[in-house]
Amino acid sequence: MDTAWQRFKKNVPFRRFVVLFLIIAVLYEMRAMMNTILLTFIFTYIVVHLIRLVQKHFPKAPSKLIVIITYLIILILLYFVITIYIPMLASQISKIAQSVVTFYQSNKMDGVMDYVNRYVNKTELVSQAKNVGTIMVHAVTSIGTLTVATFMSLILSFFYTIELKQMNEFSRLFTESGYFKWLFEDIRYFGKKFVNTFGVVLEAQFFIAICNTILTMICLAVMRMPQIIALGLMVFILSLIPVAGVIISLIPLSIIAYSVGGIRYVIYIFVIIMIIHALEAYVLNPKFMASKTELPIFYTFLVLLVAEHFWGTWGLIVGVPIFTFLLDVMDIKQTKKEKYEDSSNR
């Protein structure tokens, strides 16, 4: 038994495969806390990088002071968001909904509505109304759960970053001694891989989403589109979804554009989104991603479909970074020679 155990510990590839499987199993059991886990990682990753960025220009700046100032700014921003921007956002969303209603009412939809009323009985309408009520209750519950998870994540990330040096020193003790030293070494190995791939890709996607949102909002302002803040928030959230987010955002933007300026504005929206998407594909992605997610579009859509099935909305955001992390763990990489040959064959 001891000999088999020793062979297991010395067989590093198989041992790491088992450890990775155990990590996945533990995360699956903790799936109810996945919002808090992912948000804590994102907040911690951003604040740690902010600390390093500030200390790069100001080496003597204490990390605790940077963390305290950062979280004070976050609290001030949250106060303004809750007291000013959320009421404004709710008002603009209400106006967008009214614009969609006006769109249907102003485009001779009476025949379609008569056709629907003819073939849909009252029982089905009552059933559908109940389903809509259930969906609304679920949506309100989800928003409340996400709000609690966000505040918990901010608290956890604050305590982690405020004691960053002590956390690193204490975590290092697990890999320096103990009977399960090998286990913590493998966890540390996957942790580094996770940060170097998942973290970098997610950070790059956030920067790309911010650039897309700013450019789109500028174009919408030039077109004098209504409810720019609400539309900007929608574009930002959908921009976090690689490739598919741009296509999804076209639908509501086109409806609002048609209600404002007719088919001419719809064409403008299509041209603007195409230009921004081209800018993202040929400028922002190569610059921010730094060859981290050079995936074909087919693989990107396939990963998004599978990730959405398993993780819902979060899967659309973190599916590609997790897939990239798994490729890195399995050491599946495309060399520069292969990239050149692929481009030559095209």
Residue 90 lies in a domain: yes
**Residue 55 confidence (pLDDT):** 87
Residue 1 lies in a domain: no
**Tally of domains in the chain:** 1
Share above pLDDT 90 across residues of the chain, in percent, rounded to a whole number: 3
Residue 345 lies in a domain: no
**Residue 310 confidence (pLDDT):** 78
pLDDT (tens digit, 9 = 90+) per residue, 184-220? 888 888 888 888 777 777 777 788 888 888 888 898 8
Residue 8 lies in a domain: no
| Domain coverage including residue 34 | 13-332
Contact 231, 220 (CB under 8 A): yes
pTM of the model as a whole: 0.69
**Residue 136 confidence (pLDDT):** 47
**Residue 30 confidence (pLDDT):** 83
Residue 339 lies in a domain: no
Confidence of residue 72 (pLDDT cuts 50, 70, 90): very high
Residue 160 lies in a domain: yes
**Residue 346 confidence (pLDDT):** 45
Contact 198, 324 (CB under 8 A): yes
**Residue 158 confidence (pLDDT):** 92
**Residue 337 confidence (pLDDT):** 43
